[in-house]
Amino acid sequence: MPRIQAHPVLADRQATEVGFMFNGESARGYEGEAVSSSLVALGISQFSLHHKDLAPQGLFCANGQCSQCTVLIDGIPRKACVSPLKAGMDIRTLSGLPSLPTADMPLRQAEKRTLRTDILIIGGGPSGLSAAYELGKMGFQVIVADDKESVGGKLVLQTHKFFGSEQDCYAGVRGIEIAGLLSDKLKRLPNVQVLKNAPVVALFKDRKAGIYKDYSSYVLVEFTAIVVATGAREKGVLFPGNDLPGIYGAGAFQTLVNRDRVKAARRIFIVGSGNVGLIAAYHALQADIEVAGIVEIMGRINGYKVHADKIRRMGVPIHLNTTVLKAEGKGKVQRITTAKVDDQFRPIAGTSLAYDVDAVLIATGLSPCDEFLRQAKSYGIIAVAAGDAEEIAEASSAMFGGKIAAYQLAELLGRKVEVRESWKQTREVLKSKPGDSFSRSPVIPGAEWRPVFFCSEQIPCNPCSTVCPSSSIHLRPLRGTIMDLPYFDGEKCLGCMACVSSCPGLAISLVRRLNETEAEVVLPWEFGAGFPEDQEMDLVDQEGSFVERAPVIGKRFSKKNRTWLLSFRTRVGKATSIAGIRVQDPAVTKGEAVDLPDADELDSIVCRCERITLGEIVSFIKDNDVRDINQLKSLRVGMGACGGKTCSQLLAKAFRLAGIDMAEVEPASVRPLFMEVPMGEIVNEGLERLGSVDASQRGAP
């Protein structure tokens, strides 16, 4: 796949190109980027061939959680998604099980490397960074351990502007910028240390945590208390072919496209209509990747309506009451088949459509990464959770939740601090599900500028009301919170376009009458704008229906928001119904009608590491009257390199199909190590690579 050379929002990338070998052939990539991204950029989708049946394995999570991207690097099996590319690497496809390397040098026992701190924060996402800042201000010694090279969690993948409150959580600012703002705040606190590329892999009863620093050295951190801010992992979904290369978790796709600038596909299909799936569609379009559609098995959209409307305006259909029946392809996904479902979620004959795609994004929900929280509590360790590890919500809520978690922990440690009731109320608003929807009163264009609002569902969002220089935009006081919808309440609009460029949902236009038959409409545009000012474009209404084709008569760029503002000459009677601009050709989204395929959900892969199907698990449960998930280890379910992180979310369905209530089933035992660590790197404690003097000092790097 080609690199993304120009992006409408992201700044140009500065990177050093280096050479490496892949399967004996010379190749080029960028130094320090994930090996997986270098390979995908070269069009390589198969990272390994499974030892069970030589089935092709490809990148899936890009988060170090699964083992789908394992390759041989200089003879050693490594996860490509967390292995930085270095010049001269010899990278090879792993076929079957790897061989043990020759012991060419004896192990040298090293002195234990231990860091000491008051509070260890596991995870450097929005909640972890916010908690670290508050605790650092209180004077605690804090270590933040994050598994990525850049802190910020999923913020570093988000090119869109955030919803929420401008005052409380940077609403109207893009996620990539918020990550930098939170990180910069911590740099001003000398008692807060951030360890990057440092996943926590183990928690011990004597209040120590094992850290796999730089994925090459094992270090212990001794602490008094912890904040678990580990975020969430994406849930899998079951359909035949669900393990083919090219089927990504939505976060993996965003990592490729927005972090590493790899054009990861030509045309994608998305499963799931939550905010993650809707946003991924937007990111794909910005990367010049076609989006054939989004399917949602339920009869309603799970994300914000304003997100869904934005995507539909751009030309991406959302198919409700629709499911994926199967994915097909030779060596990687090439085709996906969908169908409508009835009220029992059974496919309806005569509704099947097939789409030719080279990637499928799974965005069917998130599951909290709360293992360390449960483990800490079982050990009697003082611990609190923050962000998605506590409750799945938007990043705006996670930031504010991190602040609250910090104060709660300080209270547990005996500090005289108070978690204000107003903070709790603010967080409840920020994590609110969408509220009621309302019809907007029609706006009649006049000679003066007037904003037109296309957000009709109550969600926590207020940037338009805070950026208006004349304070002419207010929230209609129904709830009395930022859930209320905005409306124009001024005598005169200045025409500054600040509301249009700051709206996270791209849901505000500016309209004025030019003459008896024509009007001018200003719309936001977050794509390339290298076209002439007389370019004609398709203009659509709030939910994406075509209104008219009109010429561009002006272009203006908002540097603050990095958003283009395009002016169009339109018919006056249609002006206030125009909400957006179509981005892709409708032909992209046309499926081919096919017969209902002979696809059996029981053929779906549940355990990716060991390639165990849903049918195999259901049969084993029935045959052995299984009442303990650990019994499934006889099938090797949960015994693979991911430690059961991916299959555990899907096992409930297997028990349900076997006629067993999950309430009767004993949960699986948690592995001692959260992720695999080579034994040599544990034994040697990594001293030679880390370098160390006075390692016993508090907070030694």
Q: How confident is the model at residue 688, as a pLDDT?
A: 42
Q: How confident is the model at residue 131, as a pLDDT?
A: 97
What strands lie across the sheet with 290-296, from one edge to the other?
A: 247-249, 359-362, 267-271, 290-296, 318-320
Q: How confident is the model at residue 692, as a pLDDT?
A: 35
Burial of 623 (0-12, 13-18, 19+ CB in 10 A): exposed
Res 288 pLDDT > 60:
yes
User: How do residues 672-699 score in pLDDT, each as one tens digit?
Assistant: 788 888 777 777 554 444 333 333 333 3
Q: How confident is the model at residue 12, as a pLDDT?
A: 84
User: How do residues 551-609 score in pLDDT, each as one tens digit?
Assistant: 999 999 999 999 999 999 999 999 999 999 999 999 999 999 999 998 899 999 999 99
Sign of CA dihedral 474, 478, 479, 485: negative
> Can you tell me the mean pLDDT for 491-516?
96
Q: How confident is the model at residue 106, as a pLDDT?
A: 64
To the nearest 5 percent, what fractions of the chain are helix, strand and coil?
A: 25, 25, 50
Taking alpha carbons only, the member of 317, 304, 280 closest to residue 485 is 304
Q: How confident is the model at residue 697, as a pLDDT?
A: 37
Cβ 284 vs Cβ 190: under 8 Å? no
Where do runs of H (alpha helix) occur along 189-340? 250-254, 275-286, 305-313
Q: In angstroms, rounded to a whole number, what is the distance separating the alpha carbons of residues 108 and 114?
A: 18
Q: How confident is the model at residue 108, as a pLDDT?
A: 61
User: How do residues 611-666 score in pLDDT, each as one tens digit?
Assistant: 999 999 999 999 999 999 999 999 999 998 888 888 998 999 999 999 999 999 99
103 confidence band (pLDDT: 50, 70, 90):
low
Q: In angstroms, rounded to a whole number, what is the distance separating the alpha carbons of residues 265 and 433?
A: 32
Question: Domain extents for the chain?
Answer: 17-98+235-362, 114-231+369-430, 450-589, 600-664
What strands lie across the sheet with 94-95, from one edge to the other?
A: 56-57, 48-49, 94-95
> Can you tell me the mean pLDDT for 296-314?
97
Res 182 pLDDT > 60:
yes
User: How do residues 399-444 score in pLDDT, each as one tens digit?
Assistant: 999 999 999 999 999 999 999 999 999 999 999 999 999 999 889 9
Q: What is the pTM of this model?
A: 0.93
Q: How confident is the model at residue 701, as a pLDDT?
A: 27
Cβ 131 vs Cβ 406: under 8 Å? yes
Q: How confident is the model at residue 671, as a pLDDT?
A: 79
Res 380 pLDDT > 90:
yes
The CB density around residue 656, as the number of other CB atoms within 10 Å, is 12
Provide the percentage of residues in the chain whose pLDDT is more than 90: 84
17-98+235-362 homologous superfamily:
FAD/NAD(P)-binding domain (3.50.50.60)
114-231+369-430 homologous superfamily:
FAD/NAD(P)-binding domain (3.50.50.60)
Q: In angstroms, rounded to a whole number, what is the distance separating the alpha carbons of residues 225 and 208?
A: 10
Cβ 509 vs Cβ 452: under 8 Å? yes
Cβ 361 vs Cβ 205: under 8 Å? no
Q: How confident is the model at residue 72, as a pLDDT?
A: 96
> Can you tell me the mean pLDDT for 266-295?
97
Cβ 337 vs Cβ 357: under 8 Å? no
Residue corresponding to tokens 């098995």: 297
Q: In angstroms, rounded to a whole number, what is the distance separating the alpha carbons of residues 453 and 503?
A: 10
Taking alpha carbons only, the member of 500, 406, 484 closest to residue 161 is 500
> To the nearest whole number, what is the mean pLDDT of the chain?
92
Q: How confident is the model at residue 107, as a pLDDT?
A: 61
Cβ 565 vs Cβ 525: under 8 Å? yes
1 confidence band (pLDDT: 50, 70, 90):
low
Cβ 524 vs Cβ 503: under 8 Å? yes
Q: How confident is the model at residue 205, as a pLDDT?
A: 95
Type of residue at 107: L
Sign of CA dihedral 538, 543, 547, 552: negative
What is the DSSP code string of 93-120?
A: -EESSPPPPP--S--------EEE-SEE
> Can you tell me the mean pLDDT for 8-31?
94
Cβ 261 vs Cβ 4: under 8 Å? yes
Residue corresponding to tokens 């212990």: 220
Q: Are strands 48-49 and 56-57 parallel, antiparallel or unpaired?
A: antiparallel
Cβ 317 vs Cβ 586: under 8 Å? no
